[in-house]
A and B are shown apart, each in its own frame.
Chain A
Amino acid sequence: MSLAVRFSVTLLLAFWLLGVFLEWLVPIIPQLTLFVPLMHNSYSLVCHQQQSKLLGDSVYHSLVCSRCAGIYVGLFISSIAALFFLYRNEPPLKIIIFASAPMLADVFLCAFGIYSYSKSLAFITGFLLGSAGFLYFYSALKKLIQELNSKKN
């Protein structure tokens, strides 16, 4: 896959992450306040946004919960790694199983009250899934481009 495509993916993920942490940018660019409610609504589609599970202090919060933020940061970090290292092999199924197991375990253990919700644990388990998930996305995107190119030729 060309560097331009890989860079575009990283750039898109960077924009999405900027949106996640939009409130934290308000002190630097106050005009962004106009977009906060709108972006809040957009991100509510992909996250429950429970106040107690958001990253941040009493004033500025992330627009998604710790777990979702972890997933996006994981995707972003993996996309940066993809700029420098080419993932040549197809990721085997066990990678996604191992990467999602801690997150699923954390979700169920919290839901059943075995232990209480921890933002850092949610973030880390989300990060694991996000970074592994990117391998599948990358591989699928590579194949999609190949399929489209082979149809053209």
Chain B
Amino acid sequence: MKKFISPAVCGFAAGVLQVVPLIKSFACCLIIPGAAFLSLWLDQKASKSTNKIPMKKALVFGLFTGLTAAFFGTVFEVFVTFITRQNDVIVAFPELQRMIADFPLSPELKNQVMEIFQTVRKELMETGFSWLYTFTILFNNLIVNSIFGIVGGLIGAQILNSKNKSSEA
């Protein structure tokens, strides 16, 4: 388990960056890949190795970073929502209403969409928790962060290997 310390630390940091209000507004598609890259770099520094990183290791590190970020991102999101009874769904609801109203759709379809979000919003405002919302963000985070983590790990290993090669030359 010791060898997974760096992806765990970087995944935790990325998960926090994705959730904490204000910092969240700097969210970027490079955060999770960057965390995966950093985890490989830190691992290399800790082991003082200059050997080429095997791609299988890069894949596992990237995946682990993504999964850690997804887990902590979801836990913090649910916790912050439970405490504050505020989150993106509640804040963006008026904007969502306006957006749906602008779409050229049948009134039934508009009502159907609004009903689903109205239910989730009501639950979040009253109890601070919604199973549907929690499941949705967990599913989202697991899929998106894992893919971005793997891509970041693979690209990161390739960059670190090129760097090692150029420093050897």
Residue numbers of A with Cβ under 8 A of B are 26-27, 30-31, 33-34, 36-38, 40-42, 44-48, 50, 59, 64, 67-68, 71-72, 90-93, 96, 133, 136-137, 139-141, 143-144, 147-148
Contacts and interface: CB of A to CB of B under 8 A. Distances in A.
> What is the size category of the interface that chain B forms with chain A?
35 or more
B158 A46 contact: no
Interface string B132-168: 0000110011011100100100110111001100100
Nearest to B27: A48
A144 B157 CA distance: 11
A38 B136 CA distance: 8
Contacts of B159: 93, 96, 136
B154 A30 contact: no
Given A139-B158, A144-B59, A148-B56, A31 B27 contact: no
Interface of B: 18, 24-29, 31-32, 54-56, 58-59, 73, 88-89, 92, 96, 99-100, 102-106, 109-110, 112-113, 117, 136-137, 140-141, 143-145, 148, 151, 154-155, 157-159, 162-163, 166
A141 B154 contact: yes
Mostly, the B contact residues are helix
B26 to A, nearest CB: 6
Mostly, the A contact residues are helix
